[in-house]
Amino acid sequence: MGCSKSQLLVVLLLSLAWLVPSWGEDEEAQVEEGVVEEEVVSDELLEEEGVLVLHQHNFERALHEHRLLLVEFYAPWCGHCQALAPEFTRAAGILKNDSTGLRLAKVDATEETHLSAEFGVTGYPVLKLFRDGNRTHPIDFTGTQDAEGIVRWMRRKAGPSTELLQDEASAQEFIASQDVVVVGFFKDLQSKAAQGFYEIASDAVDVPFGVSNRTELFQKYSVIPDTVCLFKKVRGGGARHLALALPQGAFSPNSPKIFGAKILNHLLLFINKTLEAHLEILGSFRAAAPPFRGQVLFVLIDVNGEGAQVLQYFGLKSHEAPTMRFINIETNRKYRMATDEFTSQAVGSFAQAVLDGKVQPHLMSEEVPEDWDKRPVKVLVGKNFEQVAYDETKNVFVKFYAPWCTHCKEMAPVWEELGEKYKDHENIIIAKLDATANEIMNLTIRGYPTLHYFPAGPDRKMIEYKSARDLETFSKFLENGGMLPAEKTPPVVSRVPGLQPATA
């Protein structure tokens, strides 16, 4: 096992101490007579305004006496440290009075050079969190450097990073508690995906995170296991949610920033970090970001690394990098940069044009299969959806599905039976659309499967089906013109504005 420079120095000093008596009788006599007094080093923990003052002799004691200890390494002459000082002191007072066992401490890094070297402190201020006496793996502070931000961050680190949602009532109360919340739906709360979710929640302290493994909640919000949903309040009450199913290892270093940010507009640059030509684009991308602070979150995605799983969500392949996409995570609308010029001016102009409403959303679409209408269940894609769904002479019942969705697979045989039953009907069409590969203007699919009925006529009506998913009930719904006989009130009917043709 290796030792640090400070440990080596201690060993040398101890060795010299053992050799002192052999240097001469005079020195030995002086020690015996008390002429040379040895300095007594104390590990006592002192504090200033609620902040523990640490040095190399009491540092270890502080770690063992306090379960969570946030340490500021500072320089007395540093302007940023001086600005942080009153906020740090105020946060220390709040936490000390909480009786939560959370404490703040400080180290003068210019004096305690051994501690600075041990923890890699090269700039000021540096804040590190030490948990359960662990000296070798401190956690870098990622919160905001004000009293409220420090307190929020520490409390999140101290307790469960997520709230467990046990039933529909607790879920509704949690979702209604803030303007934006994030909920993870996991079959196994100890799975790798769930653990990654907890880590993200621990860092993204400005947004409440909830978690559930309850089947009834999966069904209520139309999600499958290992799905993360962002819920946002809308005018008039209630909340809309954006669902994202997670492949294994879906969380990346960008996840805390993305989930924790209150900024809804994200500009993503997809590059391959192993290619020098791609790395050269980074400078322009970063230079374009400052004017959009608070409006647009700039995110780097490495298609050859942990960001590869994001590609499918945008309908991209790794060989298409470098490329750029703009997304609003509230509406789920995506925008494509028309040019391959990645200068800071071009990047900035593109972002501003999207914000100004001058860029049309980019809609993914597969090519229309040659045999799309040859089977009982018609195959729709973005490019033929408008033509089929809004045919004024037809009543069209569409299943929006995801290929990986378990619920969709379970319902597939019934949907095929329904198609077979109505394959020769003069004005009823049964269809399906892969919503992970095809997008429709003004129609956002938030869970799978989602069923929409488009009645004949010129009004462009759309009715979401939310009843039992069996052949008998489906048939009653269709035979009664998009309404079940037992329903006392008509279903909610939406009118969809004119759709623009989908682009590849």
Range name among 76-85, 201-210, 353-362, 442-451 with the lowest pLDDT average: 201-210
- Radius of gyration of the chain, Cα coordinates, nearest whole angstrom: 31
- Binning pLDDT at 50, 70 and 90, where does residue 26 land? very low
**Strands 227-233 and 239-245, sheet pairing:** antiparallel
Burial zone of 29 (CB within 10 Å; 0-12 exposed, 13-18 middle, 19+ buried): exposed
Select the more confidently predicted residue: 311 or 77.
77
Per residue in 447-465, pLDDT tens? 789 999 999 998 889 999 9
According to the per-residue pLDDT averaged within each range, which of 8-17, 34-43, 339-348, 478-487 is highest?
A: 339-348
Using CA atoms, how far apart are residues 160 and 153, in angstroms rounded to an integer?
12
Would you state the structure tokens that stand for residue 287, as one six-digit string? 């230079």
Residue 112 to residues 10, 173, 210, 232, 410: CA-CA distances in angstroms?
A: 15, 49, 42, 47, 64
Respond yes or no: is residue 3 known to be catalytic: no
Which residues contact residue 136 at a Cβ distance below 8 angstroms, ignoring those fewer than 6 apart?
none
Cβ-contact 318, 272 below 8 angstroms: yes
Per residue in 75-96, pLDDT tens? 999 888 999 999 999 999 999 8
Catalytic pick among 175, 182, 316, 408 = 408
- Binning pLDDT at 50, 70 and 90, where does residue 37 land? very low
**Residue whose pair of structure tokens reads 């790794």 in the numeric block:** 318
Coil vs helix vs strand at 40 = coil
In the chain, the amino acid numbered 416 is E
Pick the closest to residue 451 from 473, 424, 422 (CA basis).
473
Handedness of CA 430, 434, 437, 438 (dihedral sign): positive
Coil vs helix vs strand at 489 = coil
Average pLDDT over residues 42-49: 88
Cβ-contact 329, 274 below 8 angstroms: no
According to the per-residue pLDDT averaged within each range, which of 16-20, 28-32, 189-193 is highest?
A: 189-193
Catalytic pick among 54, 70, 81, 433 = 81
Using CA atoms, how far apart are residues 169 and 163, in angstroms rounded to an integer?
13
Q: What predicted TM-score, i.e. pTM, was given to this entire model? A: 0.48
Length of the chain: 504
Per residue in 117-153, pLDDT tens? 999 898 889 999 998 889 988 988 888 889 988 998 8
Can you count the helices (H) and strands (E) in the chain?
Answer: 16, 21
Respond yes or no: is residue 229 known to be catalytic: no
Would you state the structure tokens that stand for residue 407, as one six-digit string? 């619920």
- Binning pLDDT at 50, 70 and 90, where does residue 375 land? very high
Per residue in 392-431, pLDDT tens? 999 999 999 988 887 889 899 999 999 999 999 989 999 9
Cβ-contact 102, 158 below 8 angstroms: yes
Respond yes or no: is residue 78 known to be catalytic: yes
The reported pLDDT for the residue numbered 311 is 80
The reported pLDDT for the residue numbered 39 is 47
**10 pLDDT above the threshold of 90:** no
**Strands 163-164 and 296-302, sheet pairing:** unpaired
**Residue whose pair of structure tokens reads 């007395």 in the numeric block:** 76
**46 pLDDT above the threshold of 60:** yes
Using CA atoms, how far apart are residues 120 and 407, in angstroms rounded to an integer?
51
Respond yes or no: is residue 81 known to be catalytic: yes
Range name among 5-14, 119-128, 213-222, 481-490 with the lowest pLDDT average: 5-14
Burial zone of 4 (CB within 10 Å; 0-12 exposed, 13-18 middle, 19+ buried): exposed
- Strands (DSSP E) contained in 337-471 are 377-380, 395-401, 428-434, 450-454, 461-465
Catalytic pick among 78, 275, 287, 311 = 78
Coil vs helix vs strand at 373 = coil
- Strands (DSSP E) contained in 291-427 are 296-302, 323-328, 333-336, 377-380, 395-401
Per residue in 325-335, pLDDT tens? 999 877 778 99
Catalytic pick among 63, 102, 126, 405 = 405
Which residues contact residue 417 at a Cβ distance below 8 angstroms, ignoring those fewer than 6 apart?
471
- Binning pLDDT at 50, 70 and 90, where does residue 197 land? confident
| Sheet bearing 265-271, strands edge to edge | 296-302, 265-271, 323-328, 333-336
Using CA atoms, how far apart are residues 79 and 304, in angstroms rounded to an integer?
40
The reported pLDDT for the residue numbered 262 is 61
